[in-house]
């Protein structure tokens, strides 16, 4: 009986850890690709003043649409930028991270 309870607890914890992973991967992706201009984390201001901190994106952006845009190729708002295009998995991870930090 005790053993069964422990196994169930273990599965719940493993599930929670897996659910965390996309957001962590998304954070790493955005830090690699976007942090030169945008504030990626929960605090701090953007290195480039005109680039919105990511934690405020949901004020002007529907993050569900944003995920689709990342998959298609993000062009808007980046005059001097190469086009960003994320794989479906990466876009989902990035969106999961962005959702987790919105103010
Ligand atoms: C070289 C600098 C630079 C990099 C790198 C960069 N951005 Fe931007 N981004 C900007 C600037 C500047 C703006 C604002 C442009 C404007 O308002 O005309 C912007 C705007 C945006 C907006 C629109 C925000 C809004 O509220 O309208 C989104 C979304 C965005 N960036 C996402 C990203 C993502 C995701 C990455 C990384 C994959 C990224 N950016 C990388 C400079 C950059």
Average of pLDDT values for 36-40? 93
Q: Which two tokens stand for residue 32?
A: 């690699």
pLDDT over threshold 60, residue 48 = yes
| Residues in contact with 12: Cβ distance below 8 Å, sequence separation at least 6, in sequence order | none
Q: b/e map of 1-16 (b: 16 or more CB within 10 Å)?
A: eeeeeeeeeeeeeeee
pLDDT over threshold 70, residue 50 = yes
- Let me know: does 47 contact 36? Beta carbons within 8 Å: yes
Residue owning the nearest CA to atom 39 of ligand 1: 34
- Let me know: does 93 contact 84? Beta carbons within 8 Å: no
Q: What percent of the chain has pLDDT over 70?
A: 73
Average of pLDDT values for 51-77? 83
Give the model's confidence band at 7: pLDDT under 50 very low, under 70 low, under 90 confident, else very high: low
What's the CATH code, domain 22-101? 1.10.760
Q: What is the pLDDT of residue 100?
A: 94
Residue owning the nearest CA to atom 5 of ligand 1: 34
Q: What is the pLDDT of residue 19?
A: 58
**Which residues does a 6 A CB cutoff place in the pocket of ligand 1?**
30, 33-34, 36-38, 48, 50-52, 57, 60-61, 74, 77-78, 81, 84
- Let me know: does 76 contact 68? Beta carbons within 8 Å: no
- Let me know: does 98 contact 65? Beta carbons within 8 Å: no
Domain ranges of the chain: 22-101
CA dist 14 and 37 (Å) reads 35
**17-21, 57-61, 99-103, range with the lowest pLDDT:** 17-21
This prediction has a pTM of 0.80
**Which of 33, 52, 75 to mutate for ligand 1's pocket (most ligand atoms within 8 Å of CB)?**
52
Q: What is the pLDDT of residue 8?
A: 59
């Amino acid at each position: 009986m005790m053993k069964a309870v422990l196994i169930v607890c273990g599965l719940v914890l493993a599930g929670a850890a897996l659910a965390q992973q996309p957001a962590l991967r998304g954070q790493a992706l955005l830090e690699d690709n976007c942090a030169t201009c945008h504030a990626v984390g929960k605090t701090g201001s953007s290195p480039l003043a005109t680039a919105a901190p990511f934690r405020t994106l949901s004020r002007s952006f529907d993050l569900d649409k944003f995920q689709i845009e990342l998959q298609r190729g993000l062009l808007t708002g980046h005059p001097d930028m190469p086009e960003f295009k994320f794989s479906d998995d990466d876009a989902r991870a990035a969106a999961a991270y962005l959702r987790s930090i919105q103010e």
